[in-house]
Each structure stands twice: as structure tokens, then as C-alpha cells.
Amino acid sequence: MKAEYDFSKGERGKFYNAQAEFSFPIHLEPDVNARMNRLAEESGVEVQALVNEWLRANLSVIESLQP
């Protein structure tokens, strides 16, 4: 690292985007990943769509069980 940096020509907020959304990566265990890939291929959908569908279904079940 340099001892000092010159930001005099810097532009504040140059890459800021208020509409930007952060999506964090999900890492599946190899066995789960293989099975989800196979199920997605058999269903003709993307893995991401299948995982989201499964998570929504599970969230609905959880919410229906809560008092």
C-alpha cells in the first residue's frame, strides 16, 4: 500500500445506484446441488427457480403453523 493516496480528482457516488439490490450467493452441498440440478432439468426450469419455489412453499407452511 502507498503511504498516501490522492483523491482530489475522485468523484463521489460515481458508481452508486439507489435501485441496486444485493443478492447473496447460496452454496449448496454437492449432493443437494446434484439433486436440485437433476430435478430442475427434469422439470424444465432453472435451479434458481426451483429452489425459490421450494423455499416459498416451506415458508408458507411455517407461516401457516405459527399462531
46 neighbors 40 (Cβ within 8 angstroms): yes
Instruction: Give CA–CA dist 10/12, Å, rounded.
Output: 6
55 neighbors 30 (Cβ within 8 angstroms): no
Instruction: Give CA–CA dist 28/51, Å, rounded.
Output: 11
pLDDT score, position 22: 84
**One-letter amino acid for residue 41 of the chain:** E
Instruction: Give CA–CA dist 2/16, Å, rounded.
Output: 26
| Per-residue pLDDT tens over the stretch 17-62 | 999 988 888 899 999 999 999 999 999 999 999 999 999 999 999 9
Mean pLDDT of 3-23: 92
- State the pLDDT confidence band at 67, using cuts at 50, 70 and 90: confident
Q: What is the pTM of this model?
A: 0.59
Q: Does residue 5 register a pLDDT over 90?
A: yes
